[in-house]
Amino acid sequence: MVNILYIVDMVASKKLFCILNYMKKPELDLNVAAEEFESGSFGIYSFYNKKTGKFDFYTDEDRTGVRKFKDDIWVATPSQQDVDGYQIMVDFVNTVSDPHKNELLCVALEGAGAFRRFKDILYRVDLTDEWYAFKRKAYVEIAKWWCEKNGIKYLGKENHKTKSTKKSKIKKKVEKKQK
């Protein structure tokens, strides 16, 4: 009798574990979220599914996707308008200790065309790796803030890779639609 109760108890607890594990909200890797946020562009609206832990999006051209994201399980990700890319550049320039490089970058940030000039100067003064690492760290911080704001569990220590070697899902889907 004891053996049968023990087996029944084991089966019941295994089922309960499976149910609880299924109901458990996925944890979002901050680096994955940072990559998604960073790869966004104007006219692309990205969302995170709290049940599946996956990102999806729709574009200005494909407005039929809007209805899909009305459900409460979808959370809008920060758009390019929400992320102050210019401020991230200013913050980076403030970390550059070489006076010559710092001055060149400061001048690059003035007026129209600042983003293009900034990237040109980064290349010229050999700071691209440092820039991409700094930018990734900033996007990881944005992802962490966004997760906390939306009650999304996150995991992962900050991994300050220089450039992402893998294209984001958003970029892949957009390229596919454009073909």
Bridge partners of residue 55, in order along the sequence = 48
| pLDDT for position 137 | 95
| pLDDT for position 59 | 80
Cβ contacts of 147 within 8 Å, gap of 6 or more: 28, 30, 33, 153, 154
Side chain identity at residue 133, one-letter code: A
Q: In this structure, what token pair is assigned to residue 127? A: 């700071």
The pTM of the full predicted model, rounded to 2 decimals, is 0.70
The domain segmentation of the chain, as residue ranges, is 25-179
pLDDT in tens, 56-93: 888 877 766 677 777 778 998 988 778 889 999 999 99
DSSP 8-state symbol, 26: P
Report which of residues 98 and 79 the model is more confident about: 98
The vertex-46 CA angle with 109 and 71, nearest 5°, equals 145
The 3-class SS string of 73-120 reads CEEECCCCCCCCHHHHHHHHHCCCCCHHHHHHHHHHCCCCCHHHHHHH
User: d(Cα 75, Cα 95) in Å, to the nearest integer?
Assistant: 33
Q: In this structure, what token pair is assigned to residue 57? A: 């999006």
